[in-house]
Amino acid sequence: MKKPAVFLDRDGVLNEDTGYVFRPQDLRWIEGAREAVKFINEAGYFVFVVTNQSGVARGFYEECHVQELHSWMADELAKIGAHIDQFEYCPDHPEAVVERYRCNSTRRKPEPGMIVDLVARYAVDTSRSILIGDKQTDIQAALAAGIKGYLFSGGDLCAFTKSILTK
């Protein structure tokens, strides 16, 4: 049985985009972000995070740091009874300093690869799924994957999410 999903960008949607966040002590949640995840959970949707993490390719931090931050975020969400079904990230960048990450990846937004991969792994009803992002590249990835994209420009993420899902 398929169910809909909400795909969330990370930096600028779940947490403030202060530039290459990779340490828990540097992460500042967006207002209503944790509550938005809980609301989405309770509404019966999958919740996925899809995030470009070019800081890895630029040599600012390593993949293990991204994974540790995502684990910490999951622990923080669990404290209020919320969860992310899967965190996906793309460490690649065409101008990477770290050679193994230098490529034009189909997983790097605006390409839809992360979304497509999640849809292939989970029973996702794409006709009722959405993406919430803060950049046009997020919206382009959503459209390329066949789902609706919504541009979040700040404020309370929970109120924003409720306005979309209760239409």
Residue 9 annotated to the active site:
yes
CB 129 within 8 A of CB 111: no
Residue 16: HSE in the Cβ half-sphere, 13 Å Cα cutoff:
9
**Exactly one of 11, 92, 134, 138 is catalytic; which is it?**
11
- From the list 9, 92, 134, 138, the catalytic residue is 9
Q: Which helix (H) or strand (E) holds 90?
A: strand 86-90
48 - beta bridge partners?
7, 86
Contact 12, 152 (CB under 8 A): yes
DSSP summary character for residue 124? B
- 3-class secondary structure, 102: strand
Catalytic residues: 9, 11
